[in-house]
Amino acid sequence: MNIALIGSGGREHALCTKLQDSKKINKIFCIPGNAGTHDIAENIDLDINNFELLKEFIKEKKIDIIIIGPEKPLVEGIVDFLETNKIKVFGPNKLASKLEGSKIFTKNLCKKYNIPTAKFGVFKTKEKALDFLLQCKYPLVIKADGLAAGKGVYICENKIQGEQAIKEIFNGKFGKAKNLLIEEFLYGEEMSYFIISDGISYKQFGTAQDHKRVFEGDKGPNTGGMGAYSPSRLINKELEFKILKKIIEPTLLALKDMGSEYKGFLYAGLMVKNNEPYLIEYNVRMGDPECQTILPTLETDLLEIFIMVCKNKLSEIEIKWNNYKSLCIVLCSKGYPEKYNKNIEIKNLDKIILSNNDYVYHAATINKKNKILSNGGRVLNFVSLSENFINSRKKIISVLNNLNWPEGHFRKDIGYKVIDK
């Protein structure tokens, strides 16, 4: 089979790596891909926002299935477009993708279907949002509505921080803002929970704990994710039952009531307190870096899973996992998530030694004249599987120290809640 994968990040490199294990694969095209996918697939420099151009390429290359990695094309309706043109595609349609595309859509859905989440208010102007701060208790959470690459969330400890967040959002830091949300702050511990669905049935697809803040000890601004470990230390049978019955299943029912069957990965960002789950937000694709953390533990053929989803036969396949503990550390550009330099050569990549169950996924890299250059904020993802999280973290930090990229920054405390407590 010929497969196309949309995206250029670490998530897509991890998906591509796992897909190449399938005996059914003839060729993988990555659109546009990165320096990592360049070694295992054919990178195609196409504008992923030009759906017509993509359609022509898919038909020309006789692509059997196209897999959508990032959120933006999903939210903009790429699945609807391709399905209308009788192209087999893995991912949720435009209506279902509003779960990520509009935080307000999701909060209203939660309210209607009694899904546990934080209390919230929606504000259409900067002035009304600023006025509301006068009556608020702190800390509170302020969110940009719409896509913000995982960075449009502010945890505000006081009124001054709240005012700054509101001004930055309405001044266009995350694109044109028509609305923002102000939410109560939920106390507890965060967890990432994943399912895969074919529109009729669903199966669990792993858990993880992401580390959003840029500095150790969860300090500094939010990022797209500085690292993760899997499985989450919080997961247990009772909690999982509550997640499925109180959050996942009501959400899938809500979408069916709206005329949409959910197909693809669904990522629930949760807050857990006293073994009770609360929905923070949804993503309509695998998380990043959670995908890179979870996929190496998958034993079932990933392509076979995608095929069964497209056929509405997910219930007929058993998804198997190994028992390793997986940990991922993100190497980012110095200055991220604010200002940072691009096109910086990453030397010594060919010299680092990886043992079995160790992986390097490229996230923001390009290959120019046989040199690997940085091309964004989160540059490389280092993943290690072992019998315990301590060994996984030690192995990654050793590899990163050997890489010795002076323009990079990484957290040495990923997994501290499960390792250091």
User: Which pLDDT score, from 0 to 100, does residue 295 have?
Assistant: 98
The residue-averaged pLDDT of 332-353 equals 94
The residue-averaged pLDDT of 91-103 equals 95
Domains of the chain: 2-91 (3.40.50.20), 119-184 (3.30.1490.20), 189-316 (3.30.470.20), 325-419 (3.90.600.10)
- One-letter amino acid for residue 78 of the chain: I
Helix axes 126-133, 159-170, angle to 10 degrees: 170
Q: Which are the contacts of 347, defined by CB distance < 8 A and separation ≥ 6?
A: 405
- What sign results for the dihedral spanned by CA atoms 403, 381, 165, 147? positive
Q: Which two tokens stand for residue 151?
A: 């960075």
Going by pLDDT thresholds of 50, 70 and 90, the confidence category of residue 2 is very high
Q: What is the full DSSP assignment across 311-362?
A: TT-GGGS---B---EEEEEEEEETTTTSS---S-B-TTGGG----TTEEEEE
Is the pLDDT score of 127 beyond 70? yes
Q: What is the H or E stretch that residue 306 is in?
A: helix 302-310
Distance (Å, whole) CA 74 – CA 265? 12
For β-strands 227-230 and 358-362, DSSP reports them as unpaired
Going by pLDDT thresholds of 50, 70 and 90, the confidence category of residue 171 is confident
Q: Which two tokens stand for residue 125?
A: 């102007």
Q: Which are the contacts of 407, defined by CB distance < 8 A and separation ≥ 6?
A: 333, 334, 341, 344, 374
On whether the CB atoms of residues 179 and 145 are closer than 8 A, the answer is yes
| Digit-coded pLDDT (tens) for 222-256 | 898 999 999 999 999 999 999 999 999 999 999 99
pTM, two decimal places? 0.93
Q: Which two tokens stand for residue 112?
A: 């209607």
Distances (CA, A) of 248 to 24, 378, 385: 32, 30, 28
Distance (Å, whole) CA 377 – CA 375? 7
Distances (CA, A) of 408 to 259, 334, 337, 374: 46, 5, 12, 10
User: Which pLDDT score, from 0 to 100, does residue 349 have?
Assistant: 92
Q: Which are the contacts of 58, defined by CB distance < 8 A and separation ≥ 6?
A: 4, 66, 82, 87
User: Which pLDDT score, from 0 to 100, does residue 205 have?
Assistant: 98
User: Which pLDDT score, from 0 to 100, does residue 150 have?
Assistant: 55
| Digit-coded pLDDT (tens) for 175-234 | 676 788 999 999 999 999 999 999 999 999 999 999 999 999 999 988 989 999 999 999
Distance (Å, whole) CA 328 – CA 381? 7
User: Which pLDDT score, from 0 to 100, does residue 322 have?
Assistant: 97
Q: Quickly count: other Cβ atoms within 10 Å of residue 416's Cβ.
A: 17
Is the pLDDT score of 388 beyond 80? yes
Is the pLDDT score of 275 beyond 80? yes
